[in-house]
Structure 1
């Protein structure tokens, strides 16, 4: 169901819901009209307002991120975060810019729109309302960029938690590698979603675009720097995740190597014990048989003689193992 809200450039009240019949008269006075989930009635309204039919058509199809300067208005399409579908899902935000008002057309709830509505009630926006619709667009784009910064801050906290877990020598945490791969994948999605914002603002700042008025270039330059900062932060977080992952893999390899070393020492010890015990078992087996061979059972060899032979063999084997470096 369609929902229209309007916020004038003066006053501190929230954007109020209005009917389609009221919208045209209010736009003339200046302000912000927000159209959510537009229908054919809203489409006819936009055409009646004189907005270009191709721009209006983009509001009801799957457009591409771009901006265009028409004779008496401007049109911008960008990606903004979808409030209802998680931190990474985005939806197209269509913005018409003309004289003293802007019209936003969207098909979902967006955090940036909510913050933009709040920002319009601040003293700063009230004092700068005379700068025109392009300044309102700047405030909106700035909120879209700030929204991505908020998302990246959450990823920074997640990465710091994982780094602490990796460096914790006392506790083993499950699925650390999977969590790091998940962050890398999410950062790639953020890069794909936020990169168009950077491209659009950069193109707006070009002299031949005729989009940004001279008195607002300082604001849009700040916005361009902020958009570039999003890309840099995404790259920094991605690099940090790779570094933590390499540290985790190195620690895992070191633990595995130490475990193998201990296992090798145990096996070597058991092998040496077996090498000594096996001949002793042979000796006891031969002299323990009920046969007369070697004088066994005839009193020629007593127990002390057999034990002496076994002890002597053990000493000789130990000396030989030590010379070989096995002990």
Structure 2
């Protein structure tokens, strides 16, 4: 069901619930303000935006389709759409559409957004510009700034998490589980953030272009400040992503070094066992020969002569050498 709420910028005033049918009379009695259309029903909302507000049909279509982040200046109004964070999950995003006309900011959205909640707090505060100074371009600036501040809070949490993972990677006293998975998850989260913050920065930069004619001279200073903020957000995302990649490479190098050290220890053990076996081999041969129950060296009285046993051993040894040579394990390699 479509929910329509209106705020005219009065200090500490809550947003008023109204309906699409009552909006024209409400707008005629007030010169400026913010209209928020939440979860719009397509038929009635499209009729209001298209027929009563005379918004361009392409902009109206974007309210009910998956648009791209963009900025348009039409003859009687302006339109922009950009991604804002969804309140359901930390990195879920939804498109927020905004129309600017005659001092009014009209937003159309399909989900709860923390940026909208922050903007609602701002427009009620005493520090917000009031009365004749309350223009639609300034309202949009505050809305965009609220969305950007929301992304900044997310980045602060990601920065703290990245610092925690880095401390775990470089901790020489403990081995922490799932570090590689955590670093991959961090890289994925930063990539998702960039998918929204980069287009947001591009939208703001385009608004500042003089040939667009989107903002007025009196609000240009605010949008320049906003452009610095959105650009810094993009830079922070890139820096955090590079830091996560560097930490991941360091962790992989440390793991490879630990594996190489373990293999070296195993090789040293095998070398020691080989030395022991080499020393014991002649001793075992002498003990085996002199321990046989055959008549030799003046000892034993068995039925089999020592010469026969040695001959059988020699035949077995020669057969094994021949088999290894045929297989290519010794001698000329195939």
> TM-score under structure 1 normalisation?
0.85
After superposition, the C-alpha distances for 1:220-271 in whole angstroms (9 at most, x for unaligned) are 0011111111110111011001110111011101111110111011001111
- Contact 1:111 1:147 (C-alpha < 8 Å) held by counterparts: yes
The DSSP-based 3-state class of the residue aligned with 2:171 is coil
> Aligned partners of 1:45, 1:244: CA distance in 2, in Å?
53
The DSSP-based 3-state class of the residue aligned with 1:209 is coil
- Contact 2:9 2:130 (C-alpha < 8 Å) held by counterparts: no
- Contact 1:14 1:118 (C-alpha < 8 Å) held by counterparts: no
Matches within 5 A, 1:33-72: 33-39=35-41, 40-47=43-50, 48-72=52-76
Task: Quote the offset at 1:49 in angstroms.
Answer: 2.2
* 1:76/1:203 CA distance change after superposition, 3 Å: same
> Aligned partners of 1:130, 1:138: CA distance in 2, in Å?
13
1:12 matched residue in structure 2: 12
Give the superposed CA RMSD: 1.8
After superposition, the C-alpha distances for 1:198-224 in whole angstroms (9 at most, x for unaligned) are 111111111111111111111100111
> Aligned partners of 1:105, 1:27: CA distance in 2, in Å?
17
Equivalent of 2:168 in 148, 165, 168: 165
The DSSP-based 3-state class of the residue aligned with 2:172 is coil
> Aligned partners of 2:275, 2:226: CA distance in 1, in Å?
73
- Contact 1:91 1:107 (C-alpha < 8 Å) held by counterparts: yes
> Aligned partners of 2:134, 2:274: CA distance in 1, in Å?
87
- Higher deviation after alignment, 103-112 or 165-174: 165-174
2:281 matched residue in structure 1: 278
- Contact 1:112 1:143 (C-alpha < 8 Å) held by counterparts: yes
1:2 matched residue in structure 2: 2
> Aligned partners of 2:17, 2:158: CA distance in 1, in Å?
35
> Aligned partners of 1:70, 1:24: CA distance in 2, in Å?
20
Task: Quote the offset at 1:98 in angstroms.
Answer: 1.7
The DSSP-based 3-state class of the residue aligned with 1:88 is coil
- Higher deviation after alignment, 31-40 or 117-126: 117-126
Structure 1 runs (4+) greater than 3 angstroms displaced: 126-129, 295-298
- Tell whether 2:94 aligns with 1:91: yes
* 1:128/1:230 CA distance change after superposition, 3 Å: farther
> Aligned partners of 1:113, 1:59: CA distance in 2, in Å?
17
> TM-score under structure 2 normalisation?
0.84
- Contact 1:198 1:228 (C-alpha < 8 Å) held by counterparts: yes
> Aligned partners of 1:126, 1:8: CA distance in 2, in Å?
11
The DSSP-based 3-state class of the residue aligned with 2:22 is helix
> Aligned partners of 1:127, 1:297: CA distance in 2, in Å?
119
1:302 matched residue in structure 2: none
The total of aligned residue pairs comes to 297
2:317 matched residue in structure 1: none
Task: Quote the offset at 1:78 in angstroms.
Answer: 1.0
- Contact 1:9 1:129 (C-alpha < 8 Å) held by counterparts: no
> Aligned partners of 1:16, 1:131: CA distance in 2, in Å?
18
1:320 matched residue in structure 2: none
Task: Quote the offset at 1:128 in angstroms.
Answer: 7.9
Ranges in structure 2 where 5+ consecutive residues have no aligned partner: 302-334
Matches within 5 A, 1:1-327: 1-28=1-28, 29=30, 30-39=32-41, 40-47=43-50, 48-84=52-88, 86-127=89-130, 130-296=133-299
Ranges in structure 1 where 5+ consecutive residues have no aligned partner: 299-327
